[in-house]
Chains A and B, each alone.
Chain A
């Protein structure tokens, strides 16, 4: 059974929808900047320059929620825009998030510490509630809903679970991806790990020094062939392979040889029955931390036996959007396939000494992009890889 992709939606610091994101990718416009917020101090972040109220008004949102939920609603609605709900098509929603409603909770908690207690608004906190709010905005009722929280691999895992539930005849159609808003909690958390770069990040560069945080949401719609006959939707790609494995090395660091990453990439390739040389482009996890990029580079060389195809990290465009990254990058994979383009790895100048890998440096058009591998690796040693293929 083939898993078709019949919709995509995204919001990030480089655009409020798919077209805006594409134009920024094409024009090499990064969304990573200094903000005037006192929270982020002098660190550059990839933030969406609108408040929750502005976004809700711009997108005519009917459901209240945290910023994470709002971003999710916007992207999920775009993905589902050409679809209609039907009692004949079992439709579900699986969303990845690490932040949940923390953007609201952390402010409520500050008030609580000052002696002002507003209990009701905590209702938006649980990560599962974020997904319910997105479902409510889509009008999804009496359905399978799930939230996956595996840090930075959450959205990729949501995509995987959706495909598996279709294959196992639990669902016919499912909206899958992830969302995370910028919060003081995660910002300070990453700061405590001393994992930021004070400058604009440089994925896979020898001088890279850390990541820039970002926010956003990205979703795709997966459907079985039988469902497409009923929904009449137009496929834009195929989800041809996936795998999730564990590094089991350390809670926050990846093993030097990228063992878990090797397993997840090989597993995805095996499942899709593709040879290494059939992969046209890899959207790497590429967070720009010394550890990830070294580890991922080693893993790429191992899996592709030194013949690594064109690859890039788009995180120097969007920042690291944590749980949303796998969803946003799945959308970018579809764009690469359908527009026949390769996205550059911005801000690269010098290859990593130990691995000498050189990422895609320019935006290239008129390319035959048949199969894209996308990596998402999370804290806890969770390594996930998906492969999206063209319809031809």
Chain B
């Protein structure tokens, strides 16, 4: 699971172009859409792209994403649960 989380952090940095960050800057339980990272609704859509392109998981309704993308922990949990 921790390997997945490290991989996820690198993928998040790449997909959202967070060029000034390293995986170490993103804590596992940190709210991704909180004050620190300054992510917005466009980034939420990029997360949907990330999930489909890297893990084959589809999210058809953007509002479903709120809970899934809350933190690296919740993202990893979702992937583990749904990946075939």
- The 8 A CB mask of A186-201 against B (1 = contact, 0 = none) is 0000001110000000
Among B39-64, those with CB < 8 Å from A are 40-42, 45, 48, 61-62
Query: Does the CB pair A193–B40 fall under 8 Å?
Result: no
Query: Does the CB pair A251–B62 fall under 8 Å?
Result: no
Query: Does the CB pair B40–A250 fall under 8 Å?
Result: yes
Cα(A194)–Cα(B45), bound, Å: 8
Least CB distance from B45 to A in Å reads 6
- The 8 A CB mask of B12-51 against A (1 = contact, 0 = none) is 0000000000000000000000000000111001001000
Task: State which of B41, B48, B61, B62 has its C-beta within 8 Å of the C-beta of A250.
Answer: B41
Query: Does the CB pair B48–A252 fall under 8 Å?
Result: no
Among A273-325, those with CB < 8 Å from B are none
Q: How many residues of A contact B (CB 8 A)?
A: 7
Cα(A250)–Cα(B40), bound, Å: 9
List of A residues within 8 angstroms of B41 by Cβ = 250, 252-253
List of A residues within 8 angstroms of B45 by Cβ = 192-194
List of B residues within 8 angstroms of A192 by Cβ = 45
Interface centre among A192, A194, A253 (most CB of B within 10 A): A194
Among A159-204, those with CB < 8 Å from B are 192-194
Query: Does the CB pair B48–A194 fall under 8 Å?
Result: yes
Interface size class of B (residues with CB under 8 A): under 10
Least CB distance from B64 to A in Å reads 11
List of A residues within 8 angstroms of B40 by Cβ = 250
Cα(A252)–Cα(B48), bound, Å: 17
Least CB distance from B49 to A in Å reads 8
Among A233-277, those with CB < 8 Å from B are 250-253
- Measured CB to CB, the nearest residue on chain A to B61 is A194
Cα(A193)–Cα(B46), bound, Å: 10
Cα(A194)–Cα(B63), bound, Å: 11
Query: Does the CB pair A252–B62 fall under 8 Å?
Result: no
- Measured CB to CB, the nearest residue on chain A to B48 is A194
Query: Does the CB pair A251–B48 fall under 8 Å?
Result: no
- Measured CB to CB, the nearest residue on chain A to B44 is A194
Among A315-356, those with CB < 8 Å from B are none
Least CB distance from A30 to B in Å reads 25
Cα(A284)–Cα(B60), bound, Å: 28
Cα(A252)–Cα(B40), bound, Å: 11
- Measured CB to CB, the nearest residue on chain A to B46 is A192
- Measured CB to CB, the nearest residue on chain B to A290 is B63
Query: Does the CB pair B62–A194 fall under 8 Å?
Result: yes
List of B residues within 8 angstroms of A194 by Cβ = 45, 48, 61-62
- Measured CB to CB, the nearest residue on chain A to B40 is A250
- Measured CB to CB, the nearest residue on chain A to B41 is A253
List of B residues within 8 angstroms of A253 by Cβ = 41
List of B residues within 8 angstroms of A251 by Cβ = 42
Cα(A192)–Cα(B62), bound, Å: 11
Interface residues of B (CB under 8 A from A): 40-42, 45, 48, 61-62
A-B contact pairs, 9 of them (CB 8 A): A192-B45, A193-B45, A194-B45, A194-B62, A250-B40, A251-B42, A252-B41, A252-B42, A253-B41
**Can you name 10 extra interface pairs (CB under 8 A) apart from A192-B45, A253-B41?**
A193-B45, A194-B45, A194-B48, A194-B61, A194-B62, A250-B40, A250-B41, A251-B42, A252-B41, A252-B42
